[in-house]
A = this chain, B = another copy of it.
Amino acid sequence: EILTAIEAQFRTAGLLTGRRVLVTSGPTFEALDPVRFLGNRSSGRQGHAIAAALAAAGAETTLVTGPVARPDPAGVTTLHVESAEEMLSACREALPVEVAVCAAAVSDWRPAQVAEQKLKKGSAAAPDIALVPNPDILAELAQPGPHRPRLVIGFAAETEKLVEHARAKLAKKGCDWILANDVSPATGTFGGDETTIHLIDATASESWTRMRKQAVAERLVQRIGRFFSGPPMS
């Protein structure tokens, strides 16, 4: 396995030299009060592996990561954020880039109000948490404009109707590729080390065999290298 990783690095070494890339990784934590938050189970494993693989291929890599129990990858400029709003700000500051890979599991919503003091349980009925939509970082980065990266790549974490949901997401967000994976609890993808990826663009889809997230990162880097030297999905 170590040999496979070394071989992969040889295959991609220098492939992206000098290209500026941005990767997001991990969950976002959306504060409800000073101690409570709405979070999700993203471990950051996939996003961090992609950032490390891009840097190993020579890219000038910025990683914007939510809270994860994981070291900063070597050779990567890593920015730590908590919320979706902080993640969007950090991404904007990293522009312009040629490639953006949005692997973070950004919370779709955040609590409408953040209490300054810890909410007391008190004797009243349990509260409802009113939510408001978060900024859509993938859609923002994919918006047409002078700073749009040439390649904007999103992830879709689905528990059902994988390709159908992913293609709808591609169209809605305006991004170029979606890597769709199945995160049903039974698959162990969230927090686990293996995943089955479906790569989808506007006109085609392909399924990769089940592989380690490290291998997904290497294969994606090869794909990105091919994009810059020829047709993206051939």
Contacts and interface: CB of A to CB of B under 8 A. Distances in A.
Q: How many copies of the polypeptide does the oligomer hold?
A: 2
A96 B109 CA distance: 43
22 contacts: A34-B184, A34-B185, A35-B41, A35-B42, A35-B183, A36-B39, A36-B41, A37-B39, A37-B40, A38-B39, A39-B39, A109-B127, A118-B157, A118-B183, A120-B165, A121-B133, A126-B130, A127-B131, A128-B128, A128-B129, A128-B130, A129-B131
A71 to B, nearest CB: 12
A36 B36 contact: no
Contacts of A69: 69
A71 B49 CA distance: 23
A126 B121 contact: no
Given A126-B109, A128-B128, A130-B128, A38 B36 contact: yes
Nearest to A128: B128
Contacts of A160: 117
The 10 closest A-B pairs by CB, nearest first: A69-B69, A126-B131, A129-B129, A108-B121, A128-B128, A118-B159, A117-B159, A39-B39, A109-B126, A35-B40
Contacts of A126: 108-109, 130-133
Interface residues of A, number: 37
A42 B32 CA distance: 14
A97 B35 CA distance: 30
Interface of A: 29, 32, 34-42, 69, 105, 107-109, 117-118, 120-121, 126-133, 157-160, 165, 183-185, 190
